Amino acid sequence: MTYRSISTRFTLGTLAMAVSLGAQAVTDQDILNDHATVDDVVTYGMGLQGQRYSSLDQLNADNVQSLQPVWAFSFGSEKMRGQESQPMIKDGVMYVTASYSRAYAIDARTGEEIWQYDARLPDGIMPCCDVVNRGGALYDDLFIFGTLDAKLVALNKDTGKVVWVKQVADYQEGYSITAAPIIVNGKLITGVSGGEFGIVGKVEAYDPRTGDLLWTRPTVEGHMGYVYQDGEAVENGISGGEAGLTWPGDMWETGGAATWLGGTYDPDTDTLFFGTGNPAPWNSHLRPGDNLFSSSRLAIDPNDGSIKWHFQTTPNDGWDYDGVNELISFDYEQNGELVRAAATADRNGFFYVLDRTDGSFIRGFPFVDEITWAEGLDENGRPIYTEGGRPGDPAATEEDKGEPVLARPAFLGGKNWMPMAYNQTTGLFYVPSNEWSMDIWNEPVSYKRGAAYLGAGFTIKPANEEFIGVLRAIDPSTGEEVWRHENRAPLWGGVMTTAGNLVFTGTPEGYLKAFDARTGEELYRFNTGSGVVGTPITWEMDGEQYVSVASGWGGAVPLWGGEVAKVVKDFNQGGMLWTFKLPSENGAQ
Amino acid sequence: MSRWWLLVLLWAGLQAHAGVPADPFGSPMWEYNLERYLGADVQVRHDARIDLQVPAFAEDSAQVPLTLDLANFPHRPQRIIAWVDLNPVPHLFTYEPGVTPLRLIALNFRVQQATTVRAAVQDDEGIWHVASAHVDAAGGGCTAPSLTAANPDWERSFGTIRGRAFSRGDHLRYKTSVMHPMDSGMVDNIPAFFIEQVELRDGGEDELLLRLMLSESAAENPMFVFELPHPLAAPRLWMRDNHGNVFERRLEGETG
């Protein structure tokens, strides 16, 4: 019930007032500086570059064993599905989203709810991979997030009232939004999900105060981009120049390349980095060619949506190796020279280090134990395909089904959506990865609006009996795996790291864990009661360092995991937000 | 006997002092809801010149017609607040006037159990004139799933507005309906989703003719009836729900 009796309403009113006394508008400056300020988290990624690194060290490898929960908050209702959200913090208020497109504001000191927004979703939503939401954006007095029926909703961050709502795409064609939008210099930037339904991916900018569309950039070659001036659409160039360069026939019209995981932003080069998903359909024999800009990283001008450069990790993708994983900007020195780099751990099993000024390939290497589909990368970072590594063409057989292959990694990826973290102190990336393979075969398929557009069958298998998940510390300058921590179930939660020599992540078994960032030694674990597939954050409040993480098992693994089911079938669903800190000097609160 | 009367007089005196007369229906929520919706220290009187019509028995607890006729009310209403005493969220609507006075308003509401219904009309001196009525009901109208919830295709007709104006002497009657589930938020797993704001504006000068604020007690796929003096041009109906959806339509008909 959203309405309450007069007495509770009064209490809530006073609470909201007390909170709003310190509540400030979120500015562009707050967002640009988010990585450097410890008392708030106002971006998805703990900074627009997405490093998920905090300079806080009050909590560190020497005292993390004493970490204790201070409060837990239930997302409520029967909608307990995957909780993949990253909370945000501003002026003592936590903003977090939950499964089924819900959003909450919570008093970060007490865990009491300030407001809740439940999207009224149509029954016909088509999320491919669970009804998750990964987070929102804060700007001015607004909290903005995307919904499973492909809308952006802007809520007043102090009251939870809807300020505006905008339809980004038609959910009946298969579009949805699960990623957190980001704010870059006064623009709200979002992608879309739906790559399994033959949609056309796009990146769009909106005016965060009004929801007015500012520009749109399709991510499939051949589609026109537009800039909007006074409500008028002005052509801003066809993506890739023209249709048909890397796609046969009219396949580009339903080419996929969904931007379903959102993006990051690098202020040094004033560039958005958005990844794109698989080309549609999965059956690659229907679309010979590179199929730009599917399974790629796109560098996009935030001012008008123009594509500056692209880097395609899996040309003519035949394994559903979406190229959506986050591209994290970082700097390092080599031979006394500063390198403005960006790194990503791809679904296809390779880790890439790129020059973020022009997208050129610096180095790449496998970050998983075995890759079957490619023998390696060439000097430009393009995969050298293994002969026979691609599922067979059904048109070449008498059957309805092409020759199956055993491919590794499985399509759920060497790493999936769950963001890795970069530690500026250790210079290492901490990558939540998985060791699994799949049998995959192709089938004939044709496009039908709003229907799954795959043309493939598959089943996933664990690569080892003992473990699937591996948290890895990777040196981006050498490709060396500095340490690894194996986990029986696949890892599906994001990672966060701190100057306190700590790495935090969660496991489907329910644990929030902390590791020594240099050695990988497990220093702390706490069972949250359901699988952790959210992304932890840390911040400072009243002089103390806090850690928060959402708990609630779900996501793509229980839906698509095939034989992984025997490992995960007993994990129960949930929907809680846990907050931790060290005991105060006068004892635990 | 005399002591009993003394007590009654004393009680009546206290009530009169607070400006609140006794409730002829004896509802336990009378004073509580008066204070909740009209505020403390207000002058309230029963007024038979306000014609509040509800059926004696609600055939359908989710769709109970309410008509508020102000034809015999001598004041120009400054504000009208209507509520359903025993509903989980009693508030039904708040009316704010525009440039012309309202003569009649009708809409459907939900009823959770047999209850009194109130319409409080504020005159230009700030005094609240209250009309009350009682509706008997099997109940459950606020917590039963909507018809919309049973229809997986509900988004196809969602937001469809039908409406027309009819001449009623020197007044015009607007009858308009909109397809909206108006979910109360009290049904499991269906969040509150209802039209909160309704505005009628003159089609020519864009002047406000009336504004309504609705709550969870309003019925699904609501139909509104308003009677106002003839406007200059066909007015525009504007509605916004609590999820930010906006519905708009010009109400054509016999305008003059």
Mean pLDDT of B86-90: 94
- Whether pLDDT at A353 is above 60: yes
Joined tokens for residue A28: 């562009």
Residue with tokens 């003839």: B230
The answer, yes or no, to whether residue A7 has pLDDT greater than 80, is no
* Per-residue pLDDT at B11: 52
Judged by DSSP in three states, B163 sits in strand
| Cβ burial, residue B16 (10 Å; 0-12/13-18/19+) | exposed
**Element containing residue B229 per DSSP (H, E):** strand B223-229
As a residue count, chain A comes to 589
| Residue A368 token pair | 């998983």
Please state which CATH class domain B41-250 belongs to. mainly beta
Q: Is B157 in the A-facing interface, judged by CB distances under 8 Å?
A: no
Contact A120 B189 (CB under 8 A): no
Q: What is the pLDDT of residue B157?
A: 87
Q: What is the pLDDT of residues A513-556, one digit of tens each?
A: 999 999 999 999 999 999 999 999 999 999 999 999 999 999 99
Burial zone of A282 (CB within 10 Å; 0-12 exposed, 13-18 middle, 19+ buried): buried
pLDDT given for residue A498 in this prediction: 98
**What's the CA gap between B237 and B233, in Å, rounded?**
12
- Give the pLDDT band (50/70/90) at residue B206: confident
Helix (H, G, I), strand (E, B) or coil at A35: helix
Is B220's Cβ below 8 Å from some Cβ in A?
Answer: no
Does an H or E element contain B196, and which? strand B195-201
Give this prediction's pTM: 0.88
Among A93-97, A255-259, A559-563, whose mean pLDDT is lowest?
A: A559-563
- Kindly state the DSSP code that residue B66 receives in the 8-state scheme: E
Share of chain A above pLDDT 90, in %: 88
Which among B188, B216, B244 is the nearest to A3, CB-wise?
B216
Cβ under 8 Å to B: A residues 5-44: 6
Q: In chain B, which residues have their Cβ closer than 8 Å to the Cβ of A123?
A: 152, 154
User: Chain B: nearest CA to A3, how far in angstroms?
Assistant: 7
Where are chain B's structural domains? 41-250
Determine whether the interchain pair B244/A162 forms a contact, defined as Cβ–Cβ distance below 8 Å.
Answer: yes
Distance CA B46, CA B61 (A): 27
Report the candidate in A382, A305, A314, A304 with the shortest Cα–Cα distance to residue A348.
A314
Half-sphere CA count of B192, side-chain side, radius 13 A: 22
Whether residue A266 lies in the annotated active site? no
Q: Verify whether the Cβ–Cβ distance B189 to A78 is below 8 Å.
A: yes
> What is the least distance, in Å, from the CA of A98 to any CA of chain B?
14
pLDDT at site B256: 37
Task: Answer whether A122 touches B (CB < 8 Å).
Answer: yes
Q: Give me the pLDDT at residue B147, please.
A: 82
Q: Taking Cα atoms as reference points, which of A161, A193, A154, A188 lies closest to residue A177? A: A193
Contacts of A544 (CB under 8 A, 6+ apart): A58, A581, A582, A584
Cα gap A364→A476, rounded to integer Å: 9
Distance from CA of B191 to the nearest CA of A (A): 6
Sign of torsion, CA A123 A129 A131 A134? negative
Question: Is-contact B173 B225, C-beta < 8 A?
Answer: yes
CB A280 within 8 A of CB A201: no
Q: Which domains does chain A have, with CATH numbers?
A: 6-581 (2.140.10.10)
pLDDT tens by residue, A213-266: 999 999 999 999 999 998 899 999 999 999 999 999 999 999 999 999 999 999
pLDDT tens per residue across span A275-329: 999 999 999 999 999 999 999 999 999 999 999 999 999 999 999 999 999 999 9
Q: Which pair of structure tokens corresponds to residue A391?
A: 């599922």
Q: Is the minimum CB–CB distance between A161 and chain B shorter than 8 Å?
A: yes
Q: Which of A323-332, B40-49, B56-65, B244-253 has the lowest mean pLDDT?
A: B244-253
- Whether B213 has its CB under 8 Å from any CB of chain A: the answer is no
Whether residue B194 has pLDDT greater than 60 = yes
Please answer whether residues A137 and A34 qualify as being in contact, where contact means their C-beta atoms are separated by less than 8 angstroms: no
Closest CA to B214 of A43, A77, A3: A3
Q: For residues A446 and A505, is the Cβ–Cβ distance under 8 A?
A: no
Whether the pLDDT of residue B91 is over 70: the answer is yes
Q: What is the mean pLDDT of chain A?
A: 94
Residue B254: pLDDT band (50, 70, 90) is low
CA dist B17 and A481 (Å) reads 83
Chain B CB contacts of A119 below 8 Å = 191, 243
CB A282 within 8 Å of CB A370: no
Say if residues A67 and A107 touch (Cβ distance below 8 Å).
no
Question: ipTM of this predicted complex?
Answer: 0.74
Q: How far apart are CA A517 and CA A523, in angstroms?
A: 10
Give the C-alpha separation, A540 to A583, whole Å: 14
**Residue B192 contacts A, CB cutoff 8 Å:** yes
B193 part of contact set with chain A, CB < 8 Å = yes
Backbone angles phi, psi at B74, to 5 degrees: -75, -15
* Alpha-carbon dihedral angle through residues B38, B39, B45, B51, given to the nearest 10 degrees: 10
- Suggest the residue from B243, B245, B246 to mutate for an interface test with chain A (most A CBs closer than 10 A): B243
**Contacts of residue A224, Cβ cutoff 8 Å, sequence gap at least 6:** A218, A235, A236, A237, A238, A239
Choice among A320, A331, A378, A516 that is catalytic = A320
User: Per the structure block, which two tokens stand in for A304?
Assistant: 């008008």
Which pLDDT value is given to residue B251? 85
CA distance A111 to chain B (A): 22
Both structure tokens of A363 = 């180095």
Kindly tell me if the per-residue pLDDT of B13 is higher than 70: no
Q: What burial letters (b/e) apply to B73-99, b meaning 16+ CB within 10 Å?
A: bebebbebbbbbbbbbbbbbbbbebbe
Asked if B185 and A2 come within 8 Å (Cβ–Cβ), the reply is yes
Put simply, whether B39 touches A (Cβ < 8 Å) is no
Cα-based torsion angle of the residue sequence B214, B218, B220, B226 in order, rounded to the nearest 10 degrees: -70
